[in-house]
Amino acid sequence: MQDEMLHVRGSQRSWGRWRAPLAALAGALAGTLATGLLAHAEGEPTGASPYANLAIFARALAHIEASHVEPPDQDRLVYGAIEGMVDTLDPHSEFLDPEEFRVLTSDTEGQFGGVGVSIDVRDGWLTVHGLTQGSPAQRAGVEPGDRFLTIDGWTARDMPLSQAVRRMRGAPGTEVRIRLRREGAEAAIELVLTREVIRVEAVEARTLPGRIAYVRLRQFQGTTTDELRAALDRSAEETAASGGITGLLLDLRGNPGGLLDEAVRVSDEFLSEGVIVSTRGRDGQLLDEARARRGGTRPAWPMVVLVDHFSASAAEIVAGALQDHHRATIVGARTWGKGSVQNLIQLPDGSALKLTIARYYTPSGRSIQAQGIQPDVEIEQLDPSMLQTLRDRAQGSGEALLERHLAGDGDAHALPPPPRDAPRAAPGPDEAPGSMSGLEQDHQAQVARQVLQALIAASSGR
């Protein structure tokens, strides 16, 4: 799973436009080599034409085809040349051979065979960006932020994303060996994961106490908006008898992004007018501008959007649009900062070129690239063990535990603090069994709920 924001289009015309001239050029130069004129030709200036260096490529290709000790595979030669060319660009541009393109397509369709991790590149390292709930990787304890050292023995440092995805995907029941480096851990983590069919449900939702709709978007795939609509409709039905939804908590944490069109459609659910996102290409040229439409806009519920360091790409578009339009309060940690748009250009042989063509901007004109979205309420996550430790410390301290403390008005009826080794109480309403983890131990989510409850109270005039 990758985090790229994609436009998909065919380009057989543009490919065909250059195919014949390039073939003619290669043939002509190969003929020059064959007649012994290469030495003279290599001494000539290349001129000002931007395509002059194609002559150098064609000559190198002719040398390889004519003189290499073993007959070369022409497809591998051409694919390798394109890969090398694209590698000189930004880290999100890449060439995908037919198999790699098939993997990417299955990813955005929401079902594939693998271990259930989404990855991106950070400082040259392949980094775990998110995990599919219940996947082999999640069950084995892989965490966002883990960096890959090796994948099946191959060094992961500077490995292209497409290669990493291809090595981790495979037939269900087969194994992949990985070594990870985790911040704060002294030794590398070695795991053997068994691949499974991964079905990605883009949306996870439920109704919380107080008639609050909680919706988590895991990624932006082709079904995301439809799943979101269905989830909101269910919550509205569940709360209709008691007055309807009072507020919405939209959780985008760990969401690596996905399809740009889905990010626009999700934003449009909550905005009735105005710009959602604009894309600008070379020299700041405006390429596209997506705007909200009034039809189908959801009620103006008080709304909080949860983000973290691993919210990226399409998730940042949604958060930025809702923030700029003052439609939602953003709570959590500064987001990843992936603010570029990739065009997926399908080529006739089944391969594809994924090319960064633009940067995207929020409605107010902010570029998110390498900066991210700054939350309105910034709060870092605490892991459950740390949170419990803080609670234990709070229970073991305070004025009421001091000898000879002055009694308060209700002191005679106050319950003593529980012993430090007391068992936890039975699960409350936020810890209902099921596929969703309980929110009680989720520090960021608890802060977000407090902010949302304050917004609900303010909107109702209380």
Asked if residue 299 belongs to a domain, the reply is: yes
Question: Do 279 and 312 reside in the same domain of the chain?
Answer: yes
Residues 227 and 369 in one domain: yes
Is 43 within the bounds of a domain?
Answer: no
In this structure, the answer to whether residues 271 and 248 fall within a common structural domain is yes
What is the pLDDT, as a whole number, of residue 51?
76
| 133 and 247 belong to one structural domain | no
**Judgement on whether residues 228 and 120 belong to the same structural domain of the protein:** no
340 in catalytic set: no
Domain limits for position 190: 111-199
User: For residue 331, what is the domain's CATH number?
Assistant: 3.90.226.10
Share of the chain above pLDDT 70, in %: 76
User: Which residue in the list 146, 235, 338, 351 is annotated as catalytic?
Assistant: 338
Q: What is the pLDDT of residues 60-103, one digit of tens each?
A: 999 999 999 999 998 899 999 999 999 899 988 989 988 888 87
442 noted as active-site residue: no
Enter the DSSP assignment of 396. Answer: T
Residue 400 in this model has a pLDDT that exceeds 90: no
pLDDT of 29 over the 50 cut:
no
Domain stops at, among 172, 199, 226: 199
Whether 454 is covered by a domain: the verdict is no
pLDDT in the model for residue 1: 41
Per-residue pLDDT of 216-228, as tens digits, reads: 999 999 999 999 9
Give the other-Cβ count within 10 Å of 88's Cβ.
7
pLDDT of residue 440: 79
- Based on the domain organization, do 292 and 192 belong to the same domain? no
Q: How many domains does the chain have?
A: 2
Q: Is it the case that residue 115 has pLDDT exceeding 70? A: yes
pLDDT at 388: 63
Could you tell me if residue 352 is inside a domain? no
Residue 104's pLDDT band (cuts 50, 70, 90):
confident
Pair 237, 370 in one domain:
yes
Which of 213-222, 224-233, 413-422 is the least confident region? 413-422
Tell me: the pLDDT tens digits for 201-217? 899 999 999 999 999 99
Active site residue 313: yes
Same domain? For 254 and 374 the reply is: yes
Dump pLDDT digits (tens) for 241-252.
999 999 999 999
Spatial distance between the Cα atoms of 188 and 182, rounded to a whole number of angstroms: 7
Q: Which amino acid is at 143?
A: E
**Whether residues 128 and 275 fall in one domain:** no
Please tell me which residue in 120, 146, 324, 442 is annotated as part of the active site: 324
Catalytic residue, from 118, 278, 313, 351: name it.
313
Q: Under 8 Å CB-to-CB from 437, ≥6 apart: which residues?
A: none
List Cβ neighbours of 329 (8 Å cut-off, separation of 6 or more).
303, 304, 305, 376, 377, 451, 452, 455
Residue with tokens 């691949």: 195
Q: Percent of the chain beyond pLDDT 90?
A: 56
Statement to judge: residues 368 and 319 lie in one domain: yes
Q: Does 7 have pLDDT greater than 70?
A: no
pLDDT at 110: 59
**What is the mean predicted confidence (pLDDT) over 13-38?**
41
pLDDT of the residue at 420 = 36
What contacts 214, CB < 8 A, 6 or more positions away? Answer: 205, 206, 207, 208, 249, 251, 439
- CATH number, domain at 161? 2.30.42.10
- 339-385 residue pLDDT tens: 998 888 999 999 999 999 999 999 999 999 999 999 999 999 887 66
Cα torsion 168, 174, 179, 180: sign: positive
State whether 292 and 232 are in the same domain.
yes
Among 271-285, 416-430, 442-456, which is the least confidently predicted range?
416-430
- Model confidence at 6: pLDDT above 90: no
> Do residue 305 and residue 317 come from a single domain?
yes
| pLDDT band with cut points at 50, 70 and 90 for residue 200 | confident
Distance between CA atoms of residues 133 and 454, nearest Å: 31
Task: Retrieve residue 407's tokens.
Answer: 């009694």
Mean pLDDT of the chain: 81
In a domain, 295, yes or no: yes
Tell me how far apart the alpha carbons of residues 227 and 233 are, in angstroms, rounded to a whole number: 10
Q: Is the pLDDT of residue 31 over 70?
A: no
Task: Confirm whether 449 is domain-assigned.
Answer: no
Q: Quote the pTM value.
A: 0.72
Instruction: Examine the pLDDT at 129 and tell me if it is beyond 90.
Output: no
Q: Would you say residue 253 has pLDDT above 80?
A: yes
Q: Is the pLDDT of residue 131 over 70?
A: yes
Q: Of 87-91, 160-164, 279-283, which has the strongest mean pLDDT?
A: 279-283
Higher pLDDT, 1 or 307: 307
